[in-house]
Amino acid sequence: MSRVEGGRPSPARPAAHAIARDLLAWFDARKRDVPWREERDPYRIWVAEVMAQQTRIDTVRPYYHDFLERFPDVGALAAAPLDDVLRVWQGLGYYARARHLHRAAAVVAERHGGTLPSTVEDLRALPGVGAYTAGAIASLAFGLAEPAVDGNARRVLSRVFDLEAPTAERLERAAREVLDAAPGRPAAVNQAVMDLGGAVCTPRAPACAVCPVGVTCLARARGTQDERPPRRRSAPAPPRRAAAALVTREGRALFVKRPPEGLLGGLWDLPGTSPVRVERRSPPIGEIRRALEAALADRHAITARVGRRLETVHHTFSHFRLRLDVFAAEWHAGEPAGEAVWAGAGQGGVGELATPTYLRAILPRLEGLETRRTQVWCLESRVSTEGGEAYGWQGASPQE
């Protein structure tokens, strides 16, 4: 017996070589079918790792192939307009990832001759590249024994080493112990740990009986697997209310470009105002209409008559739940300020714009505006999370 974190009598510290051996045997026998698993091109691995952050692999697959077809290397991505990058990314969510990729590609093209750097230090210096992404690229593309600790790896290492306080430094030390026990296979070790966390060592009800490292897992031996890692309590997403206008003019609808930074940065959206917290009393419909008309005048320099409410859309984002009231609006005067377009459904129309997922439902219906200029439709969307934001009926500008 020995005493470890928390002062609990327990089995001795697990042998890293046994962990690595059993883990790699399991991985070699059942590795997941991932499109980039055997890839060694640093650029392709970089794109894949960024896309896979907070996104299911099955969701990533088609986007990964389409992205590489459009931007096959660092030079092509760096030279492309941001609008093109966002349009290919459209629907994958968390658009800051696409903006960071685009900026980082420009840095790689300018400072590294178009070749992704091989050291963790240089990789970490690129926009949007954190410790996990740098470690993943270094190990998968360059064969360096560098940890890649994502959420799955954090859970596995916390349990195998029974870490009561799994700080970033402690997790890195644990990961390096396993990496050092399997020289020459850093990519396989990192991928095996992540796969184990996704398939066996799950957040709730881990399948310890079939775990390949179950015999060396300290948390299982001590009965603490359900306590590791400590659960992070997150506050419930607050509700917010917003309104947006589908403004029509001569068979076309108005779309405005959001600021380049911030949530949904650089995408084309419906005009409106910012979201506000939901109060107990819902504002009268007339008050919302007047606030929306004022926003169209103040923000976009147009006069429009806001008509009936077309639909109420409930859309859940990563950090708040939105009730979006969509109103019909008819343009009367003024030319929109800032970056704005009147777009229809034909060639060169709204289909060429990078828009949030929740607006995509309206695109096929715009065909009717070409022939029935006074008719408008609602957009309807129920998306679990996009990492973005829509507009509201009053309040301050959105923050990152």
22 three-class SS: helix
pLDDT at 138 over 80: yes
Closest CA to 32 of 66, 7, 8, 56: 56
pLDDT in tens, 115-134: 999 999 999 999 999 999 99
Q: Which of 9, 18, 5 is nearest to 212 (CA)?
A: 18
336-358 mean pLDDT: 85
Same fold, 13-227 and 239-370: no
The second-level CATH assignment, the architecture, of 239-370 is Alpha-Beta Complex (3.90)
Give pLDDT, residue 212. 97
**Dihedral, CA of residue 269, residue 274, residue 277 and residue 278, to nearest 10:** -70
The pLDDT assigned to 31 comes to 82
The proportion of the chain whose per-residue pLDDT surpasses 90, expressed as a percent, equals: 63
pLDDT at residue 147 in the model: 98
Section 145-163 average pLDDT: 97
In this prediction, residues 233-259 reach a mean pLDDT of 89
Q: Which of residues 61 and 313 earns the better pLDDT score?
A: 61
Q: How far apart are CA 244 and CA 366, in angstroms?
A: 17
Q: Check residue 357 and give its pLDDT.
A: 80
Confidence of residue 368 (pLDDT cuts 50, 70, 90): low
Between 32 and 195, name the one with better pLDDT: 195
Residue 238 has pLDDT above 80, yes or no: yes
Mean pLDDT, to the nearest integer, of 329-356? 88
Q: In the prediction, which pLDDT does 136 show?
A: 97
For the beta carbon of residue 46, count every other beta carbon within 10 angstroms: 27
pLDDT on residue 379: 36
**125 CB burial (10 A radius; 0-12, 13-18, 19+):** middle
182-223 pLDDT, tens digit each: 999 999 999 999 999 999 999 999 999 999 999 999 999 999
Q: What confidence tier does 390 reach under pLDDT thresholds 50, 70, 90?
A: very low
Tell me: domain 13-227, CATH 1.10.340.30, correct? yes
d(CA 325, CA 328): 10
Domain boundaries of the chain, sorted by first residue: 13-227, 239-370
Q: Can you give the pLDDT at residue 3? A: 38
Mean pLDDT computed over 234-244: 87
Q: Mean pLDDT throughout 229-249?
A: 88
Q: Where is average pLDDT lowest: 199-213, 319-333, 360-374?
A: 360-374
Our answer to whether residue 49 is catalytic in this structure is yes
Identify the top-confidence range among 247-251, 279-283, 374-378: 247-251
Q: Does pLDDT of 361 surpass 80?
A: no
Could you report the per-residue pLDDT of 83-108, keeping only the tens digit for each?
Answer: 999 999 998 988 999 999 999 999 99
Give me the pLDDT at residue 398, please. 29
In a 13 Å sphere around the CA of 345, the CA atoms on its Cβ side amount to 15
Q: Global pTM?
A: 0.82
SS3 106: helix
**E strand segments, 270-392:** 276-277, 303-316, 321-333, 340-343
The pLDDT confidence band at residue 11, using thresholds 50, 70 and 90, is low
**Among the options 5, 38, 39, 49, which is catalytic?**
49
Strands 239-249 and 321-333: parallel
Highest mean pLDDT: which range of 122-126, 279-283, 350-354: 122-126
